[in-house]
Amino acid sequence: MIVDTLIHARWIIPVEPESVTYEHHSLVIDSGKIIDLLPTDQAKLKYQGKTTENLENHALLPGLINCHTHAAMTLMRGIADDLPLMDWLQNHIWPLEQKWMSEAFVKDGTDLAIAEMILGGTTCFNDMYFFPDITAGQVIHHGIRATVGMIVIDFPSVWAQNADDYIEKGLALHEQLRHSDLCTTAFAPHAPYTVSDEPLQKIRTLADELELPIHIHVHETLHEVEEATAQSGQRPLQRLHELGLVNPSLIAVHMTQLTDEEISLFAESGAHIVHCPESNLKLASGFCQVAKCLAAGINVALGTDGAASNNDLDMFGEMRTAALLGKAIAADASAIPAMTALRMATINGAKALGLENKCGSLSIGKAADVIAIDLNHLETQPLYCPVSQIVYAASRQQVTDVWVAGKRLLKQRQLTTINVDHLRAKITEWQKRLSN
């Protein structure tokens, strides 16, 4: 049988079933989907690939899913480092955005983010930023997968004038993307402290009608929780619960300030958490109690946050930090095993975005979102357990090849849809502008 792509690999780590690693197996891709996964000797007899790859030192994985980004903020990487969250936002980031925000800013910043993510093995991201229509256009142009946030805040910006305007423009984008295979939408109210009750209630109703996720920062810092409690007598999560937003469509980002009662409430709701360990550490925002949340049955995914507060979009780094930090917080070396961290970066992210039937694991019938990692580097030798090496020792520079929906976006470390020299020149111009 002739198929589009046949990949023979030393290891295949499908993520589902959990804790399974296949040696000397092959992945069969046709019409953008995975149609078979079988021993290599059998694959060579059964299939002939229009393109055949022999990856004798590589592990194949599902593409990583970065469940919380502000992609265009790559243009502000390294600006105003080493400051607390609200000082960083109010006195540095927001003034820069007010001065420079435009379609061109979002286009070029998103291109840089997409290039970085593909090079690092990320095949899907969940974004929240201004001009989401521009972000969506670049996602489709470059062939990566994304959920683009229909951002909502109470105050005006260059993108929209008020909450109703944000929602209206978001709904128009949702309609535009209804038939896109690569780009879906989610409501993205920024945070409880920037969105008032009326638009949150409207978003809840629309999300129910359209069956869309709601992506929002929640309990990011102790200051946020204390300020909300002082002003209203309610912790932000309780307010969201009373507004009906704490349900299976909710993707709550950060969640560093949680009581045991809130963890139980959240677990019962079926809502999802996105853990951003490195951004939380850099901004000293606090610690998400990941082990407790997972033990309660909460689906916990991983995100990098924006490159302005991380300062990278490296999901290998997030897996390692999540595993190590989770162990330290739980005072239990077995709290977040390597496979759990890998699941947080793949299938758990797909579940949070409602994409688990399309991506997140190398399963027959799913989209061929696949990455290849060369484990023959000295840094990952000797090799006793591929999953442990990937989480605890490998770097994103060991990703050699990336496919999304069967289309090759990275070939032997070379981007196939992005002109690196052209992009580099644009970023240099933005650096000059933002430095003045």
Please report, for the domain that includes residue 282, its CATH number.
3.20.20.140
Whether the link from the prior residue into 213 is cis, omega within 30° of 0, is no
Residues 6+ apart with CB under 8 A from 408: 401, 402, 416
What is the three-class DSSP state of 137? helix
The span from the CA of 45 to the CA of 15, in Å, is 26
User: What is the pLDDT at residue 275?
Assistant: 98
Angle formed at CA 189 by CA 201 and CA 83, multiple of 5 degrees: 140
Domain assignment present for residue 163? The answer is yes
Question: Which residue, 352, 378, 397, sits at the end of a domain?
Answer: 352
pLDDT (average), residues 191-212: 97
In the prediction, which pLDDT does 296 show? 98
Helix (H) or strand (E) holding 363: none
Q: What is the pLDDT of residues 318-336, one digit of tens each?
A: 999 999 999 999 999 999 9
**428 assigned to some structural domain:** no
Residues 243-250, mean pLDDT to the nearest whole number: 98
- Assess if residue 432 is contained within a domain: no
Residue 34: pLDDT above 90? Answer: yes
Residues 273, 246 within the same domain: yes
Examine the domain organization and report whether 337 and 259 are in the same domain. Answer: yes
Do the beta carbons of residue 149 and residue 159 sit within 8 Å? Answer: no
Specify if 418 maps to a domain. Answer: no
Closest CA to 65 of 16, 143, 121: 121
Residue 299, pLDDT above cutoff 80: yes
Residue 275 identity (one-letter amino acid): H
Which helix (H) or strand (E) segment holds residue 202: the answer is helix 197-210
Q: Where are the beta strands (DSSP E) in 76-182?
A: 122-127, 145-152
Residue pair 362/386 in contact by the 8 Å Cβ criterion: no
Region of 30 on the Ramachandran plot (φ > 0 left; ψ -120 to 50 alpha; else beta): beta
**What is the DSSP-derived secondary structure letter of residue 64?**
E
Q: How far apart are CA 132 and CA 145, in angstroms?
A: 14
Number of H helices, E strands in the chain: 17, 16
Helix (H) or strand (E) holding 51: strand 48-62
Q: Provide the 3-class DSSP secondary structure of residue 400.
A: strand
Is the separation of the CB atoms in 128 and 69 below 8 Å? yes
Q: Give yes or no for residue 418 having a pLDDT over 90.
A: yes
Name the residue range of residue 30's domain. Answer: 2-62+368-405
Task: Give the rounded distance of the alpha carbon of 93 from its chain centre.
Answer: 21
Provide mean pLDDT across the span 48-69. 98
Q: What CA–CA distances, in Å, run from 153 to 47, 103, 295?
A: 52, 18, 34
Rounded mean pLDDT, 197-223: 97
The verdict on 116 and 68 lying in the same domain is yes
CB 307 within 8 A of CB 113: yes
Residues 6+ apart with CB under 8 A from 76: 93, 96, 306, 307, 308, 434
**Is the pLDDT at 436 greater than 80, yes or no?**
no
pLDDT in tens, 349-371: 999 999 999 999 999 999 999 99
Regarding whether 37 and 156 lie in a shared domain, the answer is no
Question: Based on the structure, what is the number of domains in the chain?
Answer: 2
The rounded distance, in Å, linking the Cα atoms of 285 and 84 is: 8
Statement: residue 265 has pLDDT above 80: yes
Nearest to 271 by CA among 303, 248, 294: 248
Residue 102: predicted pLDDT: 96
Let me know whether 330 and 380 are in one domain: no
Asked whether 373 and 391 are in contact (CB, 8 A), the reply is: no
Mean pLDDT of the chain: 97
What pTM does this model have? 0.98
Q: Domain check: are 57 and 68 in the same one?
A: no
Give a yes or no: residue 150 inside a domain: yes
Do 50 and 71 share a structural domain?
Answer: no
User: How big is the CA angle at 297 (ends 240 and 286), to the nearest 5 degrees?
Assistant: 60
- With H, G, I as helix, E, B as strand and everything else as coil, classify residue 368: coil
3-state secondary structure of 373: strand
Enumerate the β-bridge partners of residue 33. 30, 367
Average pLDDT in the 130-140 region?
98
pLDDT for 83: 86
pLDDT, residue 374, reads 98
pLDDT in tens, 85-129: 788 888 988 899 889 999 999 999 999 999 999 999 999 999 999
Task: Based on the fold, state whether residues 89 and 10 are members of the same structural domain.
Answer: no
Q: Look-up: residue for tokens 């992506």?
A: 215
Q: Is residue 267 pLDDT above 80, yes or no?
A: yes
So what's the pLDDT on residue 284?
92
Looking at the DSSP bridge assignments, the partners of residue 54 are 8
The β-bridge partners of 273 are: 252, 300
Compute the average pLDDT of residues 207-215: 98
Cross-strand partners of 215: 251
Q: What is the residue type of 214?
A: I
Please check whether residue 54 lies inside any domain of the structure: yes
In a domain, 427, yes or no: no
Q: Does some domain include residue 147?
A: yes
Instruction: Examine the fold and report which residue of 321, 352, 383 is the final residue of a domain before the chain moves on.
Output: 352
Contacts of 371 (CB under 8 A, 6+ apart): 60, 61, 62, 63, 64, 121, 123, 399, 401, 402, 403
Going from the C-alpha of 223 to that of each of 38, 71, 194, 293, the distances in angstroms are 52, 25, 14, 22
Q: CATH number of the domain at 386, please.
A: 2.30.40.10
- Provide φ and ψ at 118, rounded to 5°: -60, -45
Q: Domain check: are 162 and 257 in the same one?
A: yes
Check residue 85 and give its pLDDT.
78
Let me know whether 345 and 381 are in one domain: no
Rounded (5°) CA angle 304-145-142: 105
- Claim to verify: residue 232 and residue 316 sit in the same structural domain: yes
In this predicted structure, what is the pLDDT of residue 1? 96
Look at residues 58, 14, 25, 10 and name the one whose alpha carbon lies nearest to residue 380.
58
Same domain, 208 and 299: yes
